[in-house]
Structure 1
Amino acid sequence: MVKLAAKCLLAGDPAVGKTALAQMFRSDGAHFQKNYTLTTGTELLVKAVSVPETSDSVELFIFDSAGKDLFSEMLEKLWEQPNVLCLVYDVTNEQSFNNCAKWLEKLRAQAVGMHLPGVLVGNKTDLVGRRVVQQKQAQEWAEKQGLEYCEMSVKEMKNFEAPFHILARLFHQLYREKVESFHSLV
């Protein structure tokens, strides 16, 4: 049994549901808080995730970051040396999707020369009639960027655990590859 720890950066525009996602995940869906205050700087949430088909687990240190540029200088220090990333956008807000490219660039700048596994998450799928970013469009963009993709509705408690299970699996896979690479050298 292996217990790993991974620094997970959660990023995206303000009001896309990053804090709701992180808090729902940490509480195992115990409650959906209807009112949130704007995150200033970063909140840290920690939760262990079991890796399927193994006895291993990954403890995710989730850095829930403010979506405002105002905090970007402070974020750069907190974002140093991430292991995995989670980009969140609102499926009813095209600008929040378009800004994912900017967020991804900022996140990858913190891990130059490293493979940084990640997932793009489309939130607010419960707002069907207001949807402007189509799943296929987002999925194609994610694939081009080397990211996994999933959609969810934190409000309806649908699929909110998926991004973190994906990240735990990706990080574990990267760990296994490094161990195998190390063993091949010995």
Structure 2
Amino acid sequence: MDILWQYQFRIILLGDSTVGKSSLLKRFTDGVYSDVADPTVGVDFYARSLEIEPGVKIKLQLWDTAGQERFRSITTSYYRNSVGGLLVFDLTNRKSFEHVRDWHREVSEHVLPHRMVFILIGHKSDLGGDRKVTRDEAERLAAALGVRYMETSAKCNSNVDRAFELLTRDVYELMKAGEIAARDGWDGVKSGFNGKILLPAEEEAERERKCQC
């Protein structure tokens, strides 16, 4: 039987309402863009697999959270079981940028003692003439939070795949370094059908010696 995936990562998108979280996910998972999008009610679910390196396929569970305050009690329950987060703001909406620190702080508090890997996303880069946040400002915020920064456009399909790929790779590299691991009772990372990918060389060699089939 073919191996479908070695690991599953749960990724959550965070940010104010109307910043374009749903558009990013639909572009990434379905390759489509629509100018008309109803606000997310509670949480929506998407999925896609990435081959992060030859022979290593990562299944992404992608959760689109509602940005409205009235849904916050629903969405916070999803923070704890996520290993990665895209902090999304609208480059044409100054308030959505100013709220990024609040989102980061709220999520970081809820995921303890686990760790979440973030990337800061300035979305709607196609609307350059209406821009309200400079790249320098966004990069300074990213540096202060200790995260990467990237500008995307779901409409133009600019950097969308790259954003998700970088976040997935960052999580994967932390797994290889032993800083993130699958744990019972936590859905942020799950092992698939093949658990040998990240075994230390000595343990892998020992397994090969024991298995002479």
Unmatched segments (≥5 aa) in structure 1: none
| Distance change (3 Å), C-alpha of 1:182 and 1:3 | closer
Q: Is the 8 A contact 2:12 2:65 kept in 1?
A: yes
Structure 1 residue 121: Cα displacement: 0.5
Matching of residue 19 in structure 1 with residue 22 in structure 2: yes
* CA distances 1:50-95 after superposition (whole Å, capped 9, x unpaired): 214x431221111100000100111122222210111110001111
Q: Is the 8 A contact 2:79 2:111 kept in 1?
A: no
CA distance in 1, matches of 2:146, 2:113: 15
Structure 1 residue 182: Cα displacement: 8.0
Q: Find the residue that maps to 2:25 and give its secondary structure.
A: helix
Detail structure 1 runs of 4+ shifted over 6 Å in the superposition.
Answer: none
- The equivalent of 2:38 in structure 1 is 37
Q: Find the residue that maps to 1:161 and give its secondary structure.
A: helix
TM-score normalised by length of structure 2:
0.79
Q: Find the residue that maps to 2:24 and give its secondary structure.
A: helix
Instruction: Give the number of equivalent residue pairs.
Output: 183
CA distance in 2, matches of 1:146, 1:5: 24
Specify the code of the residue in structure 2 equivalent to 1:56.
Answer: V
Structure 1 residue 152: Cα displacement: 1.1
Specify the code of the residue in structure 1 equivalent to 2:47.
Answer: V
Larger Rg: 2
Q: Is the 8 A contact 1:46 1:62 kept in 2?
A: yes
TM-score normalised by length of structure 1:
0.90
Q: Find the residue that maps to 1:139 and give its secondary structure.
A: helix
CA distance in 1, matches of 2:110, 2:51: 27
Structure 1 residue 176: Cα displacement: 0.6
Q: Is the 8 A contact 1:81 1:110 kept in 2?
A: no
Unmatched segments (≥5 aa) in structure 2: 182-197, 204-213
* CA distances 1:5-60 after superposition (whole Å, capped 9, x unpaired): 11111010011100000011001x2x2111011100000101111214x4312211
- The equivalent of 2:68 in structure 1 is 68
Q: CA RMSD in A?
A: 2.2
Matching of residue 111 in structure 1 with residue 100 in structure 2: no
Within 5 A, what are the aligned runs for 1:54-65? 54-65=54-65
- Aligned-residue sequence identity (percent) comes to 24
